[in-house]
Amino acid sequence: MKDYCEKKMEAAAAFDLRGQIRSCERYGSGHINDTFLLVCGEEGEDRRYILQRMNHQVFRDIPGLMQNIKGVTTFLRHQIQKDQGEPDRETLNLVPTREGKDYYQDSSGNFWRMYLFIEGASCYNLVEKPEDFYQSGKAFGRFQRLLADFPARELTETIPDFHNTPVRFQTFLKAVEKDTAGLASGVGEEIRFIKEREQEMGLALKLQREGRLPLRVSHNDTKLNNIMIDDMTGEALCIIDLDTIMPGFSIFDYGDSIRFGANTAAEDEPDLSKVSLSLPLFEVYTKGFLEGSGGRLTPAEISLLPYGAKMMTLECGMRFLTDYLQGDVYFHISRPGHNLDRCRTQLALVADMERKWEAMEGILKQYAG
């Protein structure tokens, strides 16, 4: 622990800070990176920063990851300035090291970065009221608008094939075939459910190859807690947690938000009768997302938004079942059968989306104009 504290302070001192370091304490509830709130003082005025130790076991290409973040945040800052916004608050801003680099590698091989702290804003883990979900949709839609002209192909794939659903399906089939934990015989219904939808899985990649679906800057973790909400106005301010920024599809960012936020039950709810797609929440998010995107989505993208929601939910369920069949080696579990409960919840949500498909498309047409 002492050695870790020393590395933390070594890293903090490597960045181009204003003032003397007063404190550096753990901050937030993230599970992958270690995050600290750093307070510096200068002439009676405190200035706050976020210091993070990046998990290079999860993210193996730190230079590529940081190049992505630097490129995207620099582009966002320029766009926000054009909109006469607040670039110090409406995007993450990297603090360089004293040597002018975007990250620091300490004497033990750990990688660190630093951001300006965004004052007067907070993150929330759960959707407490529909307005929260609307603001979430508006924020991620605006994210797409601001980055619509960014050359997405220049981004590094920090996690290859992250949302390549056909590849995920092949991994799933191998897990079924190997049946390492001897559990496949008990989940025949779930296996059949996924296999029956194989033909839908490659549609987005097919359309992209045909030039009918644009490659976009994709956030890939579009949960409410990755948005800073302004404490005074209650409006979405800034998208954070950019580690999984990669080339991808707007429909999948939209879809993962619906999967996470418009489910009437918890992700691991054992009682499937509680699982359904909330059409009111689907509606408020869709309204916000389309408003935020400001007309920068193509007609093909807009028409495929419900498909994005269904596919992200199916893919997630497939990944949970794959891990269950492999003996729970990837996702953290807190009880036997936890990944199976998660899988069943996702598949039940897919089934409910299919039942409500016409209603989803009707809502989409209402706000797409």
pLDDT tens-digit map of 262-292: 999 999 999 999 999 999 999 999 999 999 9
Q: Which residue shows structure tokens 């590094």? A: 156
Mean pLDDT of the chain: 94
Structure tokens at 144: 């797409």
Q: 130-368: which CATH topology? A: Aminoglycoside 3'-phosphotransferase; Chain: A, domain 2 (3.90.1200)
Q: What residues pair up with 24 in beta bridges, in sequence order?
A: 38
pTM: 0.93
With H, G, I as helix, E, B as strand and everything else as coil, classify residue 9.
helix
Q: What is each CA distance from 278 to 67, 78, 87, 136, 222, in whole angstroms?
A: 38, 37, 35, 16, 18
Residues 241, 243, 248, 252, CA torsion sign: negative
Distance, in Å, from the CA atom of 283 to the CA atom of 317, rounded to the nearest integer, reads 23
pLDDT in tens, 300-332: 999 999 999 999 999 999 999 999 999 999 888
Query: Does the domain at residues 2-118 carry the CATH identifier 3.40.50.2000?
Result: no
According to the model, what pLDDT value does residue 19 have?
86
Predicted confidence (pLDDT) at residue 30 exceeds the cutoff of 80: no
Residues sharing a CB contact under 8 Å with residue 279, sequence separation 6 or more, in sequence order: 356, 359, 360, 363
pLDDT in tens, 102-127: 999 998 999 999 999 999 999 887 77
Tell which residue, 326, 349, 187, has the closest CA to residue 267: 349
Structure tokens at 326: 């492999």
Q: What is each CA distance from 80 to 29, 83, 121, 241, in whole angstroms?
A: 28, 5, 17, 18
Report whether 286 contacts 140 (CB < 8 A). no
Residue range 16-20: mean pLDDT, rounded = 90
Percent of the chain clearing pLDDT 70 (strictly above):
98
Each domain of the chain, given as residue ranges in start order, spans 2-118, 130-368
Tell which residue, 79, 140, 72, has the closest CA to residue 291: 140
Length in residues, the chain: 369
